Amino acid sequence: MRSETKGKQLWLYLEGELSAQEATTLHKELKSISGHQEVILDFSAVESFDSSIIAVISICVEELAQRNIVLHVENITDAQEEALALMPAKHDNFGLSPEKESILFTLGESTLKKSRDVLLYIRFCARIALETFRIMFMGKRYAKGELTNQSVAIGVNAFPIIALCSVLIGLVLGFQAAAQMTEFGGIEYVANLVGVGMAREFGPLMTAIVLAGRSGSAMAAELGTMQVQEELDALRVMGLDPERYLVVPRMFAIIIMGPGLTLLSILLGIFGGMLIGVFYVDMTALFYAYRTITAVGPNDIWHGVWKSFVFSYLIGSIACYCGMQIQGGASGVGKATTKAVVMSIFMIIFADSIATGLSTVVGGWL
């Protein structure tokens, strides 16, 4: 047996027929390892080995794991792999070194995985629609009071942070608009820019992002914890549908509260812009309000409101889907929550770009 150091890796090259004597030598060598992050056993020159080698590897995996050293096996035959699979105590710290895969293979595998996720998400949305239909038109039971509780948790409790962010966004828009319009002598257009910007884009977009980070993450973590603790399975055993009792009330709550919070965000953003107009560029509050009413029409308000419906649905459905599809323990809850927030924000921006493009091309009520 010979050894070779490659950076933080220690390669041990085993040769010939391995029996109890070689197993003792291998055990001493592995126990004495220090200063490496990974140990790789190369079986390319091994003709055969007995159960003593398997026992040594099984023991040393645990010992090395306590020192944060990973043990891998390289260049083994199918028969040798089947023999190592008989290890009495397999550990997460042990594994066969993965084969190098091509970029096309990795890209194709990732595409297939994402496609499966999309199909499962569409199926989940269809299930939500079915349960909503059953509640509304077939008299199916649902958790009474849950809609009110979720509306308070999702919407009412989120209002302070949304209000503060809206005023600050209005201030920022007012400052930027004033800096540009002053150069062209059109300072009265500050109100136009702030009003239209808040109504069509910043109001619904900022509200949706805050809801995704605050309420969406909470929904995913709550449902994920229920999944880990097998509470969802308990509901199914009792004949209760988790989608109807847990998901539908949350979806209704966020779809109802999202547009309402968006309208408040638009008003508070315009108020923030008014502060700049009054105290920074010497406009009167009455004149600023007049310019805002002149610039912001019903179509602008409707554009922001209907986008908030779409954003709210995306946030709620993605958060609930990620929470109910969780696998693993506490780490799985964290991963599902992160995935829910990231995917929600991405879909919000993606949907916003499509909606803005349609409104620009089509116009009218969009």
DSSP-assigned letters across all residues of 115-134 = HHHHHHHHHHHHHHHHHHHH
Residue 162 lies inside a defined structural domain of this protein: yes
Instruction: Give the mean model confidence (pLDDT) for residues 137-149.
Output: 81
**Do 171 and 29 share a domain, yes or no?**
no
**Do 130 and 85 share a domain, yes or no?**
no
Q: Among 81-85, 196-200, 247-251, name the one with the lowest average pLDDT.
A: 81-85
**Do 131 and 236 share a domain, yes or no?**
yes
The band of 311, judged by pLDDT with boundaries at 50, 70 and 90, is very high
CATH code where residue 76 lies: 3.30.750.24
**Mean pLDDT, all residues of the chain:** 85
Task: Please provide residue 9's backbone torsions phi and psi, each rounded to the nearest 5 degrees.
Answer: -100, 140
Residue 76 makes CB contacts below 8 A (sequence gap 6+) with 43, 46, 84, 96
**Do 197 and 155 share a domain, yes or no?**
yes
Rounded Cα distance, 349 and 355, in Å:
10
Residue 108 lies inside a defined structural domain of this protein: no
43 is written with which tokens?
């079986």
Rounded Cα distance, 110 and 165, in Å:
37
pLDDT, position 198: 93
Helices then strands, each counted (H, E), the chain: 15, 5
- Domain of 15? 2-96
pLDDT, position 365: 61
Q: Is pLDDT at 182 greater than 60 in this prediction?
A: yes
**Do 142 and 275 share a domain, yes or no?**
yes
The band of 90, judged by pLDDT with boundaries at 50, 70 and 90, is low
**Which residues share a beta bridge with 11?**
4, 40
The band of 93, judged by pLDDT with boundaries at 50, 70 and 90, is low
Residue 111 lies inside a defined structural domain of this protein: no
**Do 341 and 217 share a domain, yes or no?**
yes
* Number of folded domains that form the chain: 2
Q: Is pLDDT at 94 greater than 80 in this prediction?
A: no
pLDDT, position 199: 92
Per residue, the 3-state secondary structure of 182-238, as one string, reads HHHCCCCHHHHHHHHHHHHHHHHHHHHHHHHHHHHHHHHHHHHHHHHCCHHHHHHHC
In the chain, the percentage of residues whose pLDDT exceeds 90 is: 39
**Do 141 and 279 share a domain, yes or no?**
yes
**Do 166 and 311 share a domain, yes or no?**
yes
Rounded Cα distance, 163 and 201, in Å:
16
Last residue of a domain, one of 96, 114, 132: 96
Q: Is pLDDT at 221 greater than 80 in this prediction?
A: yes
The structure's pTM equals 0.70
Three-class secondary structure of residue 40 per DSSP: strand
Residue 140 lies inside a defined structural domain of this protein: yes
**Do 90 and 215 share a domain, yes or no?**
no
**Do 87 and 182 share a domain, yes or no?**
no
Instruction: Give the mean model confidence (pLDDT) for residues 204-222.
Output: 93
Residue 117 lies inside a defined structural domain of this protein: no
Residue 115 lies inside a defined structural domain of this protein: no
Q: Is pLDDT at 83 greater than 70 in this prediction?
A: yes
**Do 151 and 55 share a domain, yes or no?**
no
Q: Is pLDDT at 92 greater than 70 in this prediction?
A: no
Last residue of a domain, one of 54, 78, 96: 96
> What is the chain's alpha carbon radius of gyration, rounded to the nearest angstrom?
30
Q: Are 155 and 253 in contact (CB under 8 A)?
A: yes
**Do 238 and 301 share a domain, yes or no?**
yes
Residue 153 lies inside a defined structural domain of this protein: yes
Last residue of a domain, one of 96, 112, 142: 96
Residue 49 lies inside a defined structural domain of this protein: yes
